[in-house]
Amino acid sequence: MKREVVVIGLGLIGGSIALGIRKEHDVKMIGFDINEDQVRMAVSLGIIDEKAHSLKTAVATADLIVLAVPVAASEKLLTDMLSFTFKEGAIITDVGSTKQTICAKAKELQNKVSFVGGHPMAGSHKSGVSAAKVHLFENAFYVFTPDEVTSPQVMDTLKDWLKGTKATFLEMSPEKHDEITGAISHFPHIIAASLVHHVETEEDRNPTVTRLAAGGFRDITRIASSSPEMWRDILLQNQSSLLRLLDTWDLEMQKVRSLLESSDSEGIFSYFEQAKHFREKLPERKKGAIPAFYDLFVDVPDHPGAISDVTSILAQSDISLTNIRILETREDIMGVLRLSFRSEEDREQAKEQLGLHTFESYTL
């Protein structure tokens, strides 16, 4: 009899995890989602074998249960599962981007089933199970947050289940995870949203500001377009870490204010120089807590058919685009296209192929 996996939440993450498991294991994949369209799509794409008509019945025979839903929803599911029966040796894991609250809630189940918190640090511009890819987590960090009672055998089993994702597995405490993701993911989202609010306020004084805020400003604040519901929950779940980061940010801004007030030319130069050097030391071509944007900017001449020439070159080379945007299209000057790809490899291949056809392209 095949082992069974139940994936609760058939979106991009849940679907991609299911594909990764199926790549390495011959299993019966059962899915559940409150959106019936997502369930039907998952079945039609072969991501799952069948829908779970009853969660209680489905998890009773499951070897692995994946909670691929927001943390608040996962906490409710864990409460519901207090009355469930589980197969001996079964493991539950989640995918939430905060870990302390979910791991604390899971302790209520520790005498019934093994729970290991998880956070695959990868994403995409797209959402929904139709966007699921088996390679979504390849070379990404996949963080596990086992507690003090989690056995090495459970960890080995879970890693074996997920080896098809080809992710890099890391283990740390829920507290350490939330501190780190707070600094490199959650807090930057706050800053991006704050920058947008700041410019909106400036619009009252200078109505032209929104016209000039296109291009680069849109790029550096792109993550502010993320789900408000998701970020409301994340901020509340990682409250203590973010309050600490806001305190240190206030000190950082006071430092900048002091440099400006004193007209400290050397200090201002040093401030930006240090930031430049630290950023340039950050790993490249690695997937991190914030989804990477594999963008390529292409200069295109002002003549009919230029854009179709670019897309045709990519299509002939079997290179998939995730997005295309026209940044500049004024008469008699070179236009600029921003092409977005799903991976660094696709971007590099596109740059090479376009170069062979005399199109100049560059990254930022």
Give CA–CA dist 336/328, Å, rounded: 5
DSSP state of 140: B
- Bridge partners (DSSP) of residue 263 are none
Which burial class, exposed, middle or buried, applies to 261 when counting CB atoms under 10 A from its CB (0-12, 13-18, 19+)?
exposed
All structural domains of the chain: 3-172 (3.40.50.720), 177-281 (1.10.3660.10), 294-362 (3.30.2130.10)
Contacts of 206 (CB under 8 A, 6+ apart): none
* Per-residue confidence in pLDDT tens, the chain, 364 aa: 899 999 999 999 999 999 999 999 999 999 999 999 999 999 999 999 999 999 999 999 999 999 999 999 999 999 999 999 999 999 999 999 999 999 999 999 989 999 999 999 887 656 788 888 888 898 889 999 999 999 999 999 999 999 999 999 999 999 999 999 999 999 999 999 999 999 888 888 888 888 777 667 877 888 888 888 889 999 999 999 999 999 999 999 999 999 999 999 999 999 999 999 998 888 765 666 666 667 888 888 767 777 888 989 999 988 888 778 776 544 444 567 888 887 778 888 999 998 888 888 887 6
User: Looking at residue 329, what is its pLDDT?
Assistant: 45
Contacts of 290 (CB under 8 A, 6+ apart): 184, 185, 188, 223
Tell me the two tokens of residue 197: 């609010």
* Residue located via tokens 């296109």: 214
User: Looking at residue 77, what is its pLDDT?
Assistant: 96
Which burial class, exposed, middle or buried, applies to 82 when counting CB atoms under 10 A from its CB (0-12, 13-18, 19+)?
exposed
DSSP H or E segment with residue 297: strand 294-300
User: Looking at residue 306, what is its pLDDT?
Assistant: 79
User: Looking at residue 214, what is its pLDDT?
Assistant: 67
Transcribe 321-333 into DSSP letters. Answer: EEEEEEEE--TTS
pTM of the model: 0.78
Transcribe 34-102 into DSSP letters. Answer: S-HHHHHHHHHTTS-SEE-S-HHHHHHT-SEEEE-S-HHHHHHHHHHGGG----TT-EEEE--S--HHH
